[in-house]
A and B are shown apart, each in its own frame.
Chain A
Amino acid sequence: MNTISVEAGLILAGILFMLGLISVMIRRNIIFMLISVEIMLNAAGLAFIVAGARWAQPDGQVMFIFILTMAAAEVSVGLALILQLYHQLKTLDGDAANKMKG
């Protein structure tokens, strides 16, 4: 017997997303920023799962798999970028990489 309300699931996803967002904004360490982005992506995926469960359709889970794929690709490229950045700047400070400005 399943009586979990959709709102509760969505609010959980919202809270997790918000925590990830806060972390992205307050952290200067780019590895932490990457971790936070993972949290946010995961939260978005969770929202899809909740929606999929609400309508009893597999589409929500399909979307989660897509997000998962995207997250995997993103984390691999992101980590490669971090390595490159660390070699260039000798620091993990995200604010140091501010050469592209108007």
Chain B
Amino acid sequence: MEALLWLIPALPLAGAVILIVTAGKLSRNLSALVGAGSVGLAALITLIIGFGFIADPAHTFHQTLWTWINVDGFKPTFAFHLDALSMVFIFVITFVGFLIHLYSIEFMHDDEGFSRFFAYLNLFVCSMLILVLADNLVLMYLGWEGVGLCSYLLIGFWYQEEKNGYAARKAFIITRVGDTAMAIGLFMLFQHFGTLNIQNILTQAPQTWTIGSETATAIALLLLGGAVGKSAQLPLQTWLPDAMAGPSPVSALIHAATMVTAGVYLIARTHVIFELAPVAQQWVGIIGAVTLLIAGFSALTQFDLKRVLAYSTISQIGYMFLALGVGAWSSAIFHFMIHAFFKALLFLGAGAVILVLHHEHDMFKMGGLKNRLPVIYWTFLIGSASLAALPFVTAGFYSKDQILWLAWAGEKGNLWFFLAALIGAFVTSIYTFRMVFLTFFGEEKTHVGHHAGKLITIPLIVLAVLSLVGGFIELPHTLGHVELFSGFVKPVLPAVEMRPGAESGEWIIQLTAATLCLAGIYVAYYFYMKRPDLRRELKSSMIVTNRFWFSGWGFDALYDTLFVKPFVYLSTRNKDDAVDRIYEGIVSGLNRVHNVFAQTQNGVMRWYIMGIVIGAIFVLSIGLILT
């Protein structure tokens, strides 16, 4: 069955090609069938392959389709490599992708660009699958840029509004900064190994470099640059909140569940290099820790429902980076999977709420939706609980708890990582339930329009179920000790080494985390339900901090002053392009000469013949003189 692997990216690609070629001529039903159907089939094939794979997770499957380029030793192939890590990713991409496609059929139903939307979405799914299945880094880069392109197209999907185009360009340019770093990293890898085949590099790297080698560190840092750009981590995180300009399913699929975790995938995939470069790996952890705090505090002050979720996404990916930084590879991937479920759920729920409230994004204008939209309320609540890591019942608790524990007890963990993660967890539960209370509780402020149909509610319910039970495949030592997930990815990602002397005490950390989560919920309840006046007081007393957090810690303004303004200044100064003057001079000189010679072209034929004769005399004379 694994021979069908190539169909998984090929089907969405075929769907995209059909939708692009027909250019909106297909009826809506047919477009939806092509768009969602192709991804659905891909998901089905993934499931079939997956069942075969679970039996023996240690084996890998390699499928070479054709040689892509062949230039003097540089010979990347169009080949797919399936192992446990890519299995997890293609499962999440196709499965969550399919649910979001289903949801989009109803969500986008009245949109003019219905067919265009599915074309982009299919192309995205295809690119993302190529990214995670690629057996060499060049092919991976193709997928990497492909998802970047689709992200750009989908953020700017409603291109008639200028700010959407701006957001799309911002996302594209900022991720490009990271991509450039990554490309340089790839060049260096090729220089050292003469190949970009991932498996070859991973086997050769430990033989070539010693631990802490400068080259390895440089390459790891460059790859980290790429990962940081794509995954919206510090310092390239500013594009993600603006990326919410796209339709909600896009935010769910691309800017929460899949594309933004490409950085996590990259680091996990090349973990061997990072293990050889402890400094770079530590930086991964530091970036993750700082990002999760910054984004968490920013999420506290937002009033746009989708922006809260955007900052929360940045923060959760920060957790994944933190896990990668302490070497807890499988925990990062586990959190990725659980996060994909509950964050897609939250975005889809938020999209549904926004849809029924006639495109109202402001949480303070919502409220009281609990009884109006029971299905959305319950699923959203489950997603929020999972995000806030409500103890014992939600999947988010198990995945996040593992990261907390390893940030403390892992060999590369330390107190600071642990504290950051702990504070982040507290903040997470505050902003999550602030969101829930503002949206669904209190009095009704905006009239509810039409109700959500089955195509919206079914994906929500499926994702809600996954957000609850998804965690039970990996339970900590203290609670049942199930290691299905880490056992599954173990052939690819080694288990984390424990710090000596930190084996015990896991239950204390779990208890602390659980307490903090509940405390966070209570704080949210206290300020937003019980004593709203106190909140206003607090807000006015901390107005500066509030503004600072609201603007995402002023990074946009900082970059504006540091890069954009000097650049704009220089380009205005050089509007007439100093270098261009030289060429303009040449052009005008030639123009003048041309005008002189144009005079000789007077249309009188005899004149031309005379010219030929004079030329002949000239040439013959030269010939005679020279001989």
Residues of A within 8 A of B (CB): 21, 24-28, 33, 94-95, 97-102
Residues of B within 8 A of A (CB): 597-606, 609-610, 613
Tell whether, in the assembled complex, residue B606 and residue A98 are in contact, meaning their CB atoms are under 8 Å apart: no
> Given A27-B606, A98-B602, 20 more contacts at CB 8 Å?
A21-B609, A21-B613, A24-B606, A24-B609, A25-B606, A25-B610, A25-B613, A26-B606, A28-B606, A94-B604, A94-B605, A94-B606, A95-B604, A95-B605, A97-B605, A98-B604, A98-B605, A101-B602, A102-B598, A102-B602
Tell whether, in the assembled complex, residue B606 and residue A95 are in contact, meaning their CB atoms are under 8 Å apart: yes
Interface pairs (13), CB distance under 8 Å: A24-B606, A25-B606, A25-B610, A25-B613, A28-B606, A94-B604, A97-B603, A98-B602, A98-B603, A98-B605, A100-B603, A101-B602, A101-B603
A15 shortest CB reach to chain B, Å = 15
Q: Which residues of B contact A33 (CB under 8 A)?
A: 605
Residue of A nearest to B599 (CB): A102
B343 shortest CB reach to chain A, Å = 69
Q: Which residues of B contact A21 (CB under 8 A)?
A: 609, 613
Bound Cα distance A101, B610 (Å)? 16
A92 shortest CB reach to chain B, Å = 13
Residue of B nearest to A27 (CB): B606
Bound Cα distance A28, B606 (Å)? 8
Q: Which residues of A contact B599 (CB under 8 A)?
A: 102
Q: How many A-B contacts if CB must be within 8 Å?
A: 35
Q: Which residues of A contact B613 (CB under 8 A)?
A: 21, 25
Bound Cα distance A76, B602 (Å)? 27
Bound Cα distance A33, B608 (Å)? 13
Bound Cα distance A21, B613 (Å)? 9
Q: Which residues of A contact B610 (CB under 8 A)?
A: 25
A14 shortest CB reach to chain B, Å = 12
Bound Cα distance A47, B218 (Å)? 77
B323 shortest CB reach to chain A, Å = 74
Closest 10 CB pairs of A and B: A98-B603, A102-B598, A102-B601, A101-B603, A101-B602, A98-B604, A100-B603, A101-B601, A95-B604, A25-B606
A77 shortest CB reach to chain B, Å = 16
Bound Cα distance A33, B610 (Å)? 13
Bound Cα distance A21, B598 (Å)? 25
Q: Which residues of B contact A100 (CB under 8 A)?
A: 603
Q: Which residues of B contact A97 (CB under 8 A)?
A: 603, 605
Bound Cα distance A98, B607 (Å)? 11
B287 shortest CB reach to chain A, Å = 66
Q: Which residues of B contact A94 (CB under 8 A)?
A: 604-606
Q: Which residues of B contact A26 (CB under 8 A)?
A: 606
Q: Which residues of A contact B598 (CB under 8 A)?
A: 102
Residue of B nearest to A98 (CB): B603
Q: Which residues of A contact B609 (CB under 8 A)?
A: 21, 24-25
Bound Cα distance A41, B598 (Å)? 30
Q: Which residues of A contact B605 (CB under 8 A)?
A: 33, 94-95, 97-98
Residue of A nearest to B595 (CB): A102
Bound Cα distance A99, B609 (Å)? 17
A25, A27, A99, most chain B CB atoms within 10 A: A25
Residue of B nearest to A101 (CB): B603
Residue of A nearest to B601 (CB): A102
Bound Cα distance A101, B602 (Å)? 5
Residue of B nearest to A24 (CB): B609
Tell whether, in the assembled complex, residue A99 and residue B603 are in contact, meaning their CB atoms are under 8 Å apart: yes
Bound Cα distance A26, B605 (Å)? 11
A98 shortest CB reach to chain B, Å = 3
Bound Cα distance A99, B601 (Å)? 10
Residue of A nearest to B602 (CB): A101
Bound Cα distance A27, B605 (Å)? 11
B610 shortest CB reach to chain A, Å = 6
Bound Cα distance A18, B604 (Å)? 20
Q: Which residues of A contact B604 (CB under 8 A)?
A: 94-95, 98
Q: Which residues of B contact A95 (CB under 8 A)?
A: 604-606
B597, B604, B605, most chain A CB atoms within 10 A: B605
Bound Cα distance A94, B602 (Å)? 13
Bound Cα distance A33, B599 (Å)? 24
Bound Cα distance A21, B608 (Å)? 12
Bound Cα distance A46, B599 (Å)? 37
Bound Cα distance A33, B605 (Å)? 10
A94 shortest CB reach to chain B, Å = 6
Bound Cα distance A102, B597 (Å)? 9
Q: Which residues of B contact A24 (CB under 8 A)?
A: 606, 609
Bound Cα distance A100, B597 (Å)? 14
Bound Cα distance A99, B603 (Å)? 6
Q: Which residues of B contact A25 (CB under 8 A)?
A: 606, 609-610, 613
Bound Cα distance A94, B609 (Å)? 13
A17 shortest CB reach to chain B, Å = 11
Q: Which residues of B contact A98 (CB under 8 A)?
A: 602-605
Bound Cα distance A25, B608 (Å)? 9
Residue of B nearest to A100 (CB): B603
Residue of B nearest to A99 (CB): B603
B605 shortest CB reach to chain A, Å = 6
Q: Which residues of B contact A102 (CB under 8 A)?
A: 597-602
B597, B606, B613, most chain A CB atoms within 10 A: B606
Bound Cα distance A97, B604 (Å)? 7
B121 shortest CB reach to chain A, Å = 57
Q: Which residues of A contact B603 (CB under 8 A)?
A: 97-101
Bound Cα distance A95, B601 (Å)? 13
Bound Cα distance A100, B610 (Å)? 17
Q: Which residues of B contact A27 (CB under 8 A)?
A: 606
A26, A94, A98, A102, most chain B CB atoms within 10 A: A102
Residue of A nearest to B594 (CB): A102
Q: Which residues of A contact B602 (CB under 8 A)?
A: 98, 101-102
B602, B603, B610, most chain A CB atoms within 10 A: B603
Bound Cα distance A100, B603 (Å)? 5
A56 shortest CB reach to chain B, Å = 28
A91 shortest CB reach to chain B, Å = 14
A43 shortest CB reach to chain B, Å = 14
Residue of A nearest to B606 (CB): A25
Bound Cα distance A95, B613 (Å)? 19
Bound Cα distance A94, B613 (Å)? 19
B113 shortest CB reach to chain A, Å = 52
